[in-house]
Structure 1
Amino acid sequence: MSRMEDSPPQSKSWSIHTRREITSKYEILERVGSGAYSDVYKARRRSDSIIVALKEVHDYQSAFREIEALQTLQNCPNIVVLQEYFWSDDEDAVLVLEYLPTDLGAVIKAAKKEWEDGIGVGEVKRWMVQILQGVDACHRNCVVHRDLKPSNLLISDEGVLKIADFGQARILLAPGFAADDGHIQSHEQPQSFQETVSQPTDVVPVPGGQLVHERKAVNVEECDAEPDEIRVKHAPGDIDKDSVSHDGAASCLATCATSDIEDPSQYSCSYEAEDDVEDWNGSLTSCVGTRWFRAPELLYGSTNYGLEIDLWSVGCIFSELLTLEPLFPGSSDMDQLGKIFSVLGNISEEVWPGCGELPDYKIISFGKVEKPIGLESSMRSRSPDEILLVKKLLCFDPLSRATAMELLHDSYLNEEPLPVPLSDLRIPLKQGNQDEDLSVEWNDFKDFDSDSDFDDFGSSTFITTDNGFSIRFS
């Protein structure tokens, strides 16, 4: 049955319509987006008629992370504003966010399909500057977003770009912080649940089913460290159980060759189940971020990554902003790596010291790419300075990637033509689903939207082994 706005609630995802504490303050106008973990509604605040976005989050941990990150980043100009939120024992969290009508994906789509002259250099630079300012704010506050992509970069009517969707974000432990084993709490009790972050957080219930986080003392010097000085520490309370996607990166080990990637029906892979797929020892998960923007260390199963994974994503976004096409549109994790290697060449200890220590380095095998395409060919219509800017981000070695602050001072963004004023930016009307990734036309990349590596391979044979299982694709 199709869901209509005037229909009665049919599932928990529509419980927002029955919650008096919300509907008494907000008139729900329409649902504007839907994702795996949330539904987003356009609403009008009854007290002053201001339009807001109500984000109903169905995943407990995702809601907690988003609230924690947005509270940490409050007053940052290029981060979406969290105005208030509602949370009770038996209901989903509902976040009240500023309403932003469009996103960078819509800009790219409009430039590709509607604007004869594409996106001007001054416009591109203004979008880049705003993205970098938002990422710099995140990283200076020890927040790694983990899912940066054009559709998560929302835009106001005035042209202000703001990073949104922090459901996969984490606040990293800066050097010197020690984890407390007592921070793991039951998911049954939202009022007392805590996730280990850079400092303990008390969750205090207040009237109306809302929550307020009271922060204890923060080590400001540690959290204000330059982004490339901050590294992930494993915290016992840092559970990623509910955020793991089902694309095989964290739970499967695979061996394939790049020559096979373009025609997945012609090759076979052997998968073994790992012990402790859901790591309860505090490790980060490698299964985060939309595949096309996912850093290679994540594709190789790393759980010891840092802020640099966001910088790789920014490099992919910049390339798409410049060419209006996705740079690495992989149809599976293996195909994703294959597309990266076809452009940048293979990884090795020479270009990425320490890559041999990646969890899946010895398990994922690719044939040598003798003549990688190179970014110059992939971004054929762009200037050397623009290509160089992207190169500074798309480095295999995470420690070689330029930080957001370094790029804000890059000569490319500070020379003629300068970034245009916000008032000169062209803002398209948002069409369709607010959560839909409009950075590409999906008809051009059929079947690439699946998060499962298995879905792309056709029929398969499943065989149980002593160590796990194997799957052969025919």
Structure 2
Amino acid sequence: MDCSAENLCYKLVARARNGAFGKMSKAREVGGNQRLLMVKTLSIAKESPESTAVLNHEVELLLQIKDFNHPNIVKLLDVSASTMNGRLNLTMVSQYVKEDLSTYLAKAPVSGLGRDNIKNAMLQLLSGLEFLHTNGVIHHYLNPENILVSSRGELKIADFGLAHIYKFSTAHSSCVVRLWYRAPEVLLKSTHMTAVDMWSVGCIFAELLLLKPLFDGATEVEQLQKIFQVIGLPSEENWPPNSPIPYSSMKRPKGPFTQPLPPLSHVENDLLAKCLQFLPSLRISATEALAHPFLTKR
């Protein structure tokens, strides 16, 4: 039996499995409500005083998130940190939700999820994301694997607030799946803010509609090429000047997002296009998306 700093005691009920970052274990609360819990453990090398300061800041952010209470955010129940042999060891205990959106989509009927189900999922996702952004939290790596779906159809965003910490994990660079949902400014190593999450929302929205990833590149360059096949190549003036990927390496013709994806309706394509703007400043916000006709009109 293990107990957290908040005196939340639990017993592991399933063997730990390796996730994209760290290990995850299913546990059950001892005493109290005997809730099912998810326990995630991370061990991160503290390479320098600078990285130690950043990691300490991220732990403080996690402790702040622990106080969040929103139906579309996985409840983080406890965070504890310790140092040993030059490494920072983190343990995070959260509510347990059995299924992620990736698994949910894999079981969807060939005919699709249906407009009402997609609208409901988007409303929940955007509601949770608006809450995070309002509280100064950028997810950075939103994708179907860290959006959980409860047995009652509730969507809950997970792993929020950990994106910066993950930068210290070597597993980060090899996670191809998350490549499919990264905004161009992330791929191009440019500065980014909350708009990166709205790009990911656009990719997830398309996947809800099409039941397959919209952009499935195997490398950063290939991912960009696949993106520009859909939205058109931006002008060279809008290309980040210090990007390690040169503009000259992109071979797609210039053009705005004018051709809709054939299976989608006009209103669906309009919301998708507003999420998939190359320039972050032109990308729709979570609050604006919640007011989009796709989500507000019957």
Give the deviation of 1:299 after TM superposition.
1.4
CA distance in 2, matches of 1:325, 1:356: 30
Alignment partner, residue 79 of structure 2: 85
- CA offsets, 1:167-225, max 9 Å, x none? 6435xxxxxxxxxxxxxxxxxxxxxxxxxxxxxxxxxxxxxxxxxxxxxxxxxxxxxxx
Give the deviation of 1:65 after TM superposition.
3.0
Alignment partner, residue 332 of structure 1: 219
Change (3 A) 1:39 1:390: same
Runs of 4+ in 1 over 6 A off after TM superposition: 60-64, 370-374
Give the deviation of 1:290 after TM superposition.
1.5
Change (3 A) 1:313 1:364: farther
Query: Does 2:293 correspond to 1:406?
Result: no
Change (3 A) 1:154 1:63: farther
Q: In terms of mean alpha carbon deviation, does 356-365 or 325-334 score higher?
A: 356-365
Query: Does 2:48 correspond to 1:57?
Result: no
Residue type of the alignment partner of 1:100: V
Residue type of the alignment partner of 1:334: V
Change (3 A) 1:375 1:155: farther
Alignment partner, residue 51 of structure 2: none
Structure 2 SS opposite 1:95: strand
Give the deviation of 1:36 after TM superposition.
4.0
Matches within 5 A, 1:126-141: 126-141=120-135
Equivalent position to 1:100, from 55, 78, 97: 97
Which has more radius of gyration? 1
CA distance in 1, matches of 2:117, 2:91: 34
Alignment partner, residue 147 of structure 1: 141
Change (3 A) 1:380 1:354: closer
Give the deviation of 1:75 after TM superposition.
1.1
Do the aligned partners of 1:66 and 1:166 also contact (CA within 8 Å) in 2? no
Change (3 A) 1:410 1:58: same
Residue type of the alignment partner of 2:99: T
CA distance in 2, matches of 1:144, 1:289: 19
Equivalent position to 2:19, from 31, 35, 47: 35
CA distance in 1, matches of 2:127, 2:273: 19
CA distance in 2, matches of 1:128, 1:305: 23
Give the deviation of 1:25 after TM superposition.
2.2
CA distance in 2, matches of 1:95, 1:331: 31
More helix by share: 2
Do the aligned partners of 1:168 and 1:288 also contact (CA within 8 Å) in 2? no
Query: Does 2:176 correspond to 1:301?
Result: no
Change (3 A) 1:368 1:56: closer
CA distance in 2, matches of 1:24, 1:391: 45
Change (3 A) 1:375 1:101: farther
Equivalent position to 2:153, from 159, 163, 176: 159
Matches within 5 A, 1:197-208: none
Runs of at least 5 residues in structure 2 that lack an aligned partner in the other structure: 46-53
Give the number of aligned pairs.
Answer: 282
- CA offsets, 1:26-75, max 9 Å, x none? 11011364224311111111103211111112236779736624633611
Equivalent position to 1:71, from 60, 64, 67: 64
Give the deviation of 1:24 after TM superposition.
9.3
Please, what is the CA RMSD of the aligned residues? Answer: 3.1
Higher relative contact order at CA 8 Å, sep ≥6: structure 1 or structure 2?
1
Residue type of the alignment partner of 2:222: D
Change (3 A) 1:241 1:34: closer
**Normalising by structure 2, what TM-score?**
0.83
Equivalent position to 2:228, from 308, 321, 341: 341
Do the aligned partners of 1:146 and 1:288 also contact (CA within 8 Å) in 2? no
Matches within 5 A, 1:258-273: none
Equivalent position to 2:201, from 314, 332, 337: 314
Q: In terms of mean alpha carbon deviation, does 60-69 or 93-102 score higher?
A: 60-69
Give the share of equivalent positions with the same residue, in percent: 35
CA distance in 1, matches of 2:93, 2:157: 15
Do the aligned partners of 2:203 and 2:213 also contact (CA within 8 Å) in 1? yes
Do the aligned partners of 2:143 and 2:181 also contact (CA within 8 Å) in 1? yes
Structure 2 SS opposite 1:88: strand
**Normalising by structure 1, what TM-score?**
0.54
Query: Does 2:292 correspond to 1:366?
Result: no
Runs of at least 5 residues in structure 1 that lack an aligned partner in the other structure: 1-18, 171-238, 248-286, 417-474
Alignment partner, residue 242 of structure 1: 168
